[in-house]
Amino acid sequence: MLGVALGVAVFVSIDLANQSARTALSLSLGALQGKATHEIVASSPAGLPEELFVRLVRSGVRPAAPVVEATAIITPKGPGGKPEALPLLGIDPFSEAPFRPAVGRIAGGGLDLKTMLTTPGACLLARETAERFGLGPGERFPARFGTFERQLLLSGLLESATGDSPSAWADLLICDISTAQEATGRLGRLTRIDLLLPEGAFSARELSLVRALLPPGVLIQEAAGRLREGDEMTRAFRMNLAALSLLALVCGSFLIYNTMTFLVVERRRLIGLLRALGATRGEIFSGVLGEAAAIGVVGTLFGLGAGVVLGRGLVRLVAGTINDLYFALSVRDLALPPLTFAIGIAVGLGVTLLAALAPALEATGAPPQGATVRSLLEAKSGRALPRATVAGGIVLALGALALPFSGWTSSFLVMFGAIIGFALLAPGAAVLLGRALRAALARRTGRVGWIGRMAASGLERNLSRTGVAIAALVVAVSVTVGVGAMIASFRGSVERWLDRSLTADLYVAPAEREAGFVGASRPATIIDRLGAIPGVIRVRPLRRAEARSTTPGAGTIRLIAVEADPSATVIRQGDAAEAWTGFARGEILASEPLAARLGLSVGSTLPLATADGVKPFRVAGVYLDYASDRGIAMIDRAHYRRLWRDDRVSGLGLDLAPGAGDLELDRVAAAVRALDPQEPLGVRSNQELRRRSLVVFDRTFKITGVLRFLAGLVAFLGVLSALLALQLERTREIGVLRALGMTTREVGALVAAETGLLGLTAGILSVPVGFVLALILIEVINRRSFGWSMDLVLTPGVFLGAIALALSAALLAGVVPAIKMARTSPAEALREE
């Protein structure tokens, strides 16, 4: 029952966490976006001139809604409040209703239009968000917008009158567009203008009418793109989670199968008796299945409950990772989609019944007398072995067939082909290994020799039980090995990349960036001001920006505008010298994930919207980068400034004189911090930045670590139940051995040797399987789906660890049966005869 519950729980929890993250994503993006069909955006970070909105509505373009978006950093009241970044949505209430009807339907006294329009700083929060920050209506509170600290007034609370999805407004600061402009200091500017264009025949006409009104550098695009983009942005991450939840499902199924086998085995004697007493095969069969169903139902229910509890923990990890990697997303509610539960129930019951089917058939198939005899069963298992082996080979080959295809489905197929294939091959391999061991011990005399030989042959003799246990253990351990090796390789590659790309001594960024305001920037004058600090020999400015691409499905492309630094960037594709020559001419370098996502290679072009309209950019080279899984286009800063008319900087690298020690670093850092108290700058040393990057990396893989642990737990339980089943059946055998003069210590040693051997076999088998899985994860999943390339790092530790894990899991699982059997008195064990 525990097995069933755990199997279901693992699958359900991961799926729930995944779904919740996704729901929160579409809710928060949907709340911001509303029902707009199109949006007008600027290609430069400065945003749109507000006069454009006036021009549109005066020309009769309706409905249109101006929007100012920004990030506010608010610190909850009370001790220990950590600053949080909240999206700010500045709206024009008179334009809103057709777009965000959820706002329109909000009733109650909270909405005071007069205050909202005439009181600077007036804003609205969802009730639950206000409570979280400890704020009440009418209260003033400070909020940071970039470099500015502003006093805001909570003029009202948002409550959904209809009761639907109030969380759509959670963690959103809503204010009038005037307050939004003043708070962010972006007077006269809009982030975007939402449009609701009629569908069908009118659409094209309206669209061209709107286009004719747009100045250069401003474009109109379909609004669905934003949601799609956000969805796609986290898709790779979520697919990874889905893969893990499926792995959990496979492990869970093994566990359930194991549990059911154990149960039937326990009742073999009873079944034999019942059959002898005249029970028909049908009765036995339905009896076994009925019991399985009962166990399945109870176990599944427990599993669902545990899954929800576990899911709550996991969802925080998932949301944390999305926050780290993508954008501010808060998942406070666990979504409970019925489908997940349906799948959980189907898996729990289905696998339980399916798992019970084989033992049930086996039990009913046996003649009454034979039901109690193991040898018949084992003979059958022996005959099944070649079939399982052949099936394993076929599954492996089928998985390999999917290898040439790109895309997620085929990547999954390859991976699962490998896992299931290897699991089917495992019993055969175990037999071979057992035989080899027996041959090796053939000439050993003494206790080690005979106990070892007995244990080795036991592996083969008890294949009906050990086979499944070994397979489960191999799957679980190899997943651990594969994922572990992948993470180690990934981390190693990231470390090397950090070492190479972090070449400046100090890194300077607007202080508000650390609080989560990713768009923070400073005017270009900061370059000279920093350069004037004594000890600084070179300042390397960097501008992070976004540009829309007209390539279908490309969405927003992250741009990094820098000065060429060939020593810090590894060109993976294309000749390095030519790449840098092209870069100097204004061509772009595509990061590997970008190239993979858009199918770019050296020589292809990427159209990007500049301030002068859309221009094609030739890809001069593809470079190694782990900064974004969406990909980055690197462009020469001089060209960027000209084409986007934007010379602000998002970050700067400072080079100090060679040989500058820690004291010198601290001195310069202090000078940077003191440079501008009004618009403070944050400084990090090379080492600190490296360490922090790795912290983010490790946090990203925390959930993977949790899943590794769960897989290990599943494996352990699998082995435990298999061994319990095995030893239970062998009570009589042990009794005979004891009667023949074997001491309790020797019996204990035999059981330990058997379980140890089982663990060792699984451990050894999982090394190559884990290796193959790691290869698949790195070469197929990561390279193909994310575009990340990494060097496979195989540390002996990972493999030794795998063997140790399998061995200790097996030995630990063997402790209880060993003690139990050693304590059995021979007379008692034989009495039943």
Partner 1 sequence: MRFPSFILLAPVGLFAFGACADRSPGPPRSETRGVASALSAGPAGSDDGFARALAPRTFTFPADHGPHPEYRTEWWYVTGNLNTKEGRAFGFQWTIFRNALAPAVAARGSRWGARDVYLGHFALSDLLPDGGATGPRFLSFERFRRGALGLAFASAAPFRVALDDWKLASIATGAAGPTWPARLEASAGEGTTRRAIDLVLEEGKPPVLQGDRGLSQKSAIPGNASYYYSLPRMPARGEIRLGDQTFAVSGLAWLDREWSTSALSPDQIGWDWFALQLEGEAAGSELMLYRLRNRDGTADPVSRGALIAPDGQTRAIAWRDLTLTETATWTSPKSGARYPAAWQLRIPSERLVLTIRPMLDDQELDGAFRYWEGAVGVTGTRDGRPVSGKGYVEMTGYADATAPPR
State the residues that interact with partner 1 by CB under 8 A: 50-51, 53-54, 57-60, 62-63, 92-98, 101, 103-107, 109, 111-114, 117-118, 120, 161, 176-179, 181-182, 187-188, 198, 202
Q: What angle do CA 58, 63, 68 make, to 5 degrees?
A: 90
* DSSP 8-state symbol, 258: H
How many CA atoms, within 13 angstroms, populate the side-chain half-sphere of residue 631? 31
Q: How far is the CB of 159 from partner 1 (least distance, A)?
A: 12
- Of 77, 2, 603, 590, the C-alpha closest to 352 is 2
Q: Which is nearer to partner 1, 126 or 669 (CB)?
A: 126
Q: How far is the CB of 792 from partner 1 (least distance, A)?
A: 56
In DSSP terms, which residues pair with 617 in a beta bridge?
Answer: 606
Let me know: does 645 contact 43? Beta carbons within 8 Å: no
Q: How far is the CB of 91 from partner 1 (least distance, A)?
A: 9
Q: What is the 3-state secondary structure (H, E, C) of 735-784?
A: HHHHHCCCCHHHHHHHHHHHHHHHHHHHHHHHHHHHHHHHHHHHHHHHHH
Q: How far is the CB of 681 from partner 1 (least distance, A)?
A: 25
Let me know: does 11 contact 254? Beta carbons within 8 Å: no
Torsion, Cα 639 546 192 147, to 10 degrees, reads -90
Neighbours of 397 (CB within 10 A): 11
**C-alpha 644 chain-centroid distance:** 35
Q: How far is the CB of 51 from partner 1 (least distance, A)?
A: 8
Q: Which is nearer to partner 1, 51 or 499 (CB)?
A: 51
Q: How far is the CB of 190 from partner 1 (least distance, A)?
A: 10
| Lookup result for tokens 């030519």 | 578
Q: Which is nearer to partner 1, 202 or 709 (CB)?
A: 202
Here the tokens at position 109 are 């006294």
Q: How far is the CB of 28 from partner 1 (least distance, A)?
A: 20
Let me know: does 219 contact 609? Beta carbons within 8 Å: yes
Q: Which is nearer to partner 1, 53 or 788 (CB)?
A: 53
Q: Which is nearer to partner 1, 18 or 179 (CB)?
A: 179
Q: Which is nearer to partner 1, 92 or 587 (CB)?
A: 92
Task: Write the Ramachandran bin of 108: left for phi over 0, alpha for psi from -120 to 50, otherwise beta.
Answer: left
Q: How far is the CB of 63 from partner 1 (least distance, A)?
A: 7
The verdict on whether omega for the bond into residue 93 sits within 30 degrees of 0, i.e. cis, is no
Let me know: does 66 contact 92? Beta carbons within 8 Å: yes
Q: Which is nearer to partner 1, 96 or 754 (CB)?
A: 96
Q: Which is nearer to partner 1, 113 or 224 (CB)?
A: 113
Q: How far is the CB of 96 from partner 1 (least distance, A)?
A: 6
Q: 430 to each of 396, 415, 772, how far by Cα in Å?
A: 18, 22, 18
Q: Which is nearer to partner 1, 156 or 311 (CB)?
A: 156
Q: How far is the CB of 106 from partner 1 (least distance, A)?
A: 7
* DSSP 8-state symbol, 603: T
Distance (Å, rounded) from C-alpha 327 to C-alpha 172? Answer: 14
Q: Which is nearer to partner 1, 57 or 246 (CB)?
A: 57
Q: How far is the CB of 176 from partner 1 (least distance, A)?
A: 7
Q: How far is the CB of 511 from partner 1 (least distance, A)?
A: 23
Q: Which is nearer to partner 1, 57 or 219 (CB)?
A: 57
Neighbours of 15 (CB within 10 A): 25
Let me know: does 152 contact 146? Beta carbons within 8 Å: no
Distance (Å, rounded) from C-alpha 529 to C-alpha 672? Answer: 9
Q: Which is nearer to partner 1, 113 or 309 (CB)?
A: 113
Distance (Å, rounded) from C-alpha 534 to C-alpha 66? Answer: 46
Q: Which is nearer to partner 1, 112 or 378 (CB)?
A: 112
Q: How far is the CB of 164 from partner 1 (least distance, A)?
A: 14
**C-alpha 295 chain-centroid distance:** 32
In DSSP terms, which residues pair with 74 in a beta bridge?
Answer: 84
Distance (Å, rounded) from C-alpha 543 to C-alpha 535? Answer: 24
Helix, strand counts (H, E) of the chain: 28, 21
Q: How far is the CB of 203 from partner 1 (least distance, A)?
A: 11
- Of 566, 522, 484, 500, the C-alpha closest to 680 is 522
Q: How far is the CB of 191 from partner 1 (least distance, A)?
A: 13
Q: Which is nearer to partner 1, 105 or 538 (CB)?
A: 105
Q: How far is the CB of 217 from partner 1 (least distance, A)?
A: 21
Instruction: Report the length, in residues, of the chain.
Output: 833
| Helix pair 744-775, 463-501: axis angle to 10 deg | 50
Distance (Å, rounded) from C-alpha 613 to C-alpha 552? Answer: 17
Q: How far is the CB of 160 from partner 1 (least distance, A)?
A: 12
Distance (Å, rounded) from C-alpha 426 to C-alpha 226? Answer: 47
Q: Which is nearer to partner 1, 176 or 729 (CB)?
A: 176
- Sort 684 into a burial class: Cβ within 10 Å, 0-12 / 13-18 / 19+: middle
Distance (Å, rounded) from C-alpha 524 to C-alpha 11? Answer: 51
- Radius of gyration, alpha carbons of the chain: 32
Q: How far is the CB of 512 from partner 1 (least distance, A)?
A: 20
Q: Which is nearer to partner 1, 82 or 114 (CB)?
A: 114
Task: Write the Ramachandran bin of 200: left for phi over 0, alpha for psi from -120 to 50, otherwise beta.
Answer: left
Let me know: does 561 contact 641? Beta carbons within 8 Å: yes
Let me know: does 762 contact 806? Beta carbons within 8 Å: yes
Q: Which is nearer to partner 1, 204 or 439 (CB)?
A: 204
> What's at 830, amino acid-wise?
L
Task: Write the Ramachandran bin of 553: left for phi over 0, alpha for psi from -120 to 50, otherwise beta.
Answer: left
Q: Which is nearer to partner 1, 62 or 77 (CB)?
A: 62
